[in-house]
Structure 1
Amino acid sequence: MPRRREPRSPADSSRPRQPSRTTWRDRIGALGRRCLRLPSRRQWQVGALIAAGAVGAIAVLSLIWPEDDKAFQARPEVTPATLADKPRRPVTVLVIGLDADKLGDATNKAAPAGPANADALLLVRVQPEGPLQVLNLPTELAVRLPGQKQPVALGSLYRRGGVALTADAVRELTGLQPPSPDRYVVLPRAALRQLVNGIGGLEIDPPRTMRYQDKAQKLTIDLQGGLQRLGGAQVEQLVRYRDRLLGETDRRNNQQRFQIALRDRLRQNEPLTALPGVLKELEGQVETNLTPLEALSLMAAGLDDQRPIAFASLPLDPPKPAHGKLRQLSSKAPNPVWPEKKG
């Protein structure tokens, strides 16, 4: 049986139903109103919690994630000109290279055995504008001390009276006026090795094979000729080597090779950058009245000048049997024996 329809009420019969029409303009308007509707308070709270969590996660990651390797970060290039301010006047430094391994050693473990002697003596003149000057002083030079009849070797004065007696004799010998030498540096062998190793070794060209052995000193020298990179122990062998025929003159030539190589090496960026740290490590191993800033200032002036080192030496008379291995200063030596060279 067909379903019975309910009759319309009078109100429905009097107002006919209008069909629902939604145009595309109405739909876009509704979508825009929903998009522009401000979030509720509950939505703001949820968003704030999410943002706080993200910030916290980033903070934690920044603590556990490694920083960029500093080796890959750009560093300003260090040059002699930027190392430190140059001195405003010429400065003369007395350098004493000891034959002992460390300062204060009871014995030098060398020949002649006993307290430390000066195995190398240098006067270094650093000028703001002039060339770097180095005077190699012969340790075998005969000097006569007040109240003594027999002369003694210049290199033995450190054993007898330390820096003060050595500086007095050098001042009288060269004609320097007080307070020159202005500064001094006493460098034992262990400090020499550490200096060379700290800057990565030196490129040196020994002129020939050098071999020598002394069991009493526990000294072995074994170097090949030719250009090569030498470490601290090998450089020590070089500056200690003395040819049997050429004697102390040959040793001073080897020390001069070391000085040239040291200056050339320190002009390179990597060892020059490491220099302040190397000098810091040498504190307590050398005896000096130079402050760290003064040392860097002298280094800056000596390295920045592009001219070769102006080496000088004292002319000596041939050895005399009466004086043994000691040598006398030649009567033909210039006066002054070490004139200042201007720029």
Structure 2
Amino acid sequence: MSKAGQELGNRARKAPRRTYLLVLATATLGLAGGIGALNLVWAQADPERTGAHQAGERARLSPPPTRPITVLLIGSDADLLGQARNGAAPSGPANSDALLLARVDPAGALRLLILPADLAVQLPGEKPPQSLGSLYREGGPALASSSVAALLGLESGQPQRYVVVPRAALRSLVDGLGGVEMNLEQPLRSTDKTQNFEVDLQAGLQNFRGNQVEQMVRFLEPSLGEQGRRIRQQLVLEGLFQQLSRPEQGSRLPELLTQLAPQVDTNLSTGEALSLLSAATANPKQIRFDQLPLARPSKADQPLRQLQKSAAVPLWPKG
């Protein structure tokens, strides 16, 4: 077992009677405390520069954070925020089928870590491990954030922010940016009658609209499984940041974020989101994708991935 896994396991042994509600309450309090501390990270808005007539300038004028900020992005497999059921097969409660940690450093590269939704997590007081992607269903952003922090050995208070993005919000984001240009190396085709969902994407360099990007990130090929999905998630992220970094997007971002606000769940204010986007897209060539040290599956049909036993915490960020 990795040191990160031992940390979660030790917590379970030290507090075998700790209930799920106590774990969730502790995680929620941790998020609330982090929000108070972050008031010192962003410069306060100038009241003389606020107002609707300034909306086009806010993307440029939002000052960057004064130190690195880590954000957990949770992609929900429900179509809309608050939907009790997912849009996947098998049908059930909404899970997170995509998780991403983003570390925005105003003085360095943007660090991105795609987290495997099928990564094994041992919760305190729970005997069988469960997938990282199921934690959002069990305890929302608070439980997902605290579990990611424990697994990776993040510093206290991290991740400081979270964003939950259901599928409709992803489509709205892509369409609001005018599409995303990507080069798909091979065609993707599948039909799932249980979900009433079809994937039909041609290979080649093209501008993908929101529904096509959704097809790309939802497509699950038998040979690569979740690994192939993570590869396509990285392709989409690269395309999104390239599109966000274009000069003409600066004036669109405030209005786009306003439109997306009711579609997502986040503890980021609009000003903070603009600040992070401004810092993250300042140099699109300074984007670094990191990977977790995953152990090789012991068998072909192993349902959950494990971290390497020799992995030392903190697992991220390194270097």
TM-score (normalised: structure 2): 0.79
Out of 241, 260, 279, the residue aligned to residue 282 of structure 1 is 260
> For structure 1, which segment, 90-99 or 317-326, has the greater mean C-alpha deviation from structure 2 after superposition?
317-326
Query: Structure 1 unaligned runs (5+)?
Result: 1-75
Q: Is the 8 A contact 1:140 1:326 kept in 2?
A: yes
Deviation at 1:315, TM superposition (A): 2.2
Alpha-carbon RMSD across the aligned residues, in angstroms, is 2.0
CA deviation map 1:119-155 (0-9, x unaligned): 1001000011110000111110111112221111010
2:221 is matched with which residue?
A: 243
CA distance in 2, matches of 1:323, 1:243: 14
Deviation at 1:267, TM superposition (A): 1.4
Q: Is the 8 A contact 2:59 2:253 kept in 1?
A: no
2:130 is matched with which residue?
A: 152
Out of 85, 89, 92, the residue aligned to residue 111 of structure 1 is 89
CA distance in 2, matches of 1:162, 1:186: 9
Q: 1:81 to 1:215 in 2, by over 3 A?
A: closer
Are 1:336 and 2:289 an aligned pair? no
CA distance in 2, matches of 1:158, 1:81: 31
> For structure 1, which segment, 250-259 or 304-313, has the greater mean C-alpha deviation from structure 2 after superposition?
304-313
Q: Is the 8 A contact 1:314 1:333 kept in 2?
A: no
1:172 is matched with which residue?
A: 150
CA distance in 1, matches of 2:61, 2:245: 11
Query: Structure 2 unaligned runs (5+)?
Result: 1-53
Deviation at 1:239, TM superposition (A): 1.0
Are 1:90 and 2:68 an aligned pair? yes
Out of 266, 287, 291, the residue aligned to residue 269 of structure 2 is 291
CA deviation map 1:89-129 (0-9, x unaligned): 10000000011101111211212321111110010000111
CA deviation map 1:283-314 (0-9, x unaligned): 11100000000000000100113433110111
Written as runs of structure 1 = structure 2, the 5 A alignment for 1:58-73 is none
CA distance in 1, matches of 2:204, 2:291: 25
Deviation at 1:340, TM superposition (A): 5.0
Q: Is the 8 A contact 1:80 1:301 kept in 2?
A: no
2:282 is matched with which residue?
A: 304
Q: Is the 8 A contact 2:80 2:169 kept in 1?
A: yes
CA distance in 2, matches of 1:112, 1:315: 29
2:169 is matched with which residue?
A: 191
SS in 2 for 1:203: strand
Higher relative contact order (CA 8 A, sep 6+): 2
1:259 is matched with which residue?
A: 237
1:58 is matched with which residue?
A: none
Q: Is the 8 A contact 2:59 2:254 kept in 1?
A: no
Deviation at 1:334, TM superposition (A): 4.6
SS in 2 for 1:273: coil
CA deviation map 1:27-59 (0-9, x unaligned): xxxxxxxxxxxxxxxxxxxxxxxxxxxxxxxxx
2:182 is matched with which residue?
A: 204
Q: Is the 8 A contact 1:315 1:332 kept in 2?
A: no
Q: Is the 8 A contact 1:194 1:232 kept in 2?
A: yes
CA distance in 2, matches of 1:295, 1:161: 24
2:99 is matched with which residue?
A: 121
Q: Is the 8 A contact 1:117 1:157 kept in 2?
A: yes
CA deviation map 1:214-256 (0-9, x unaligned): 1111111111111101000000011111221111111011010
Q: Which has the larger radius of gyration?
A: 1
> Identity of counterpart residues, as a percentage?
50
Q: Is the 8 A contact 1:126 1:132 kept in 2?
A: yes
* Displacement over 6 Å in runs of 4+: 78-81
CA distance in 1, matches of 2:285, 2:88: 36
> For structure 1, which segment, 207-216 or 315-324, has the greater mean C-alpha deviation from structure 2 after superposition?
315-324
The count of corresponding residues between Structure 1 and Structure 2 is 265
CA distance in 2, matches of 1:241, 1:111: 12
2:199 is matched with which residue?
A: 221
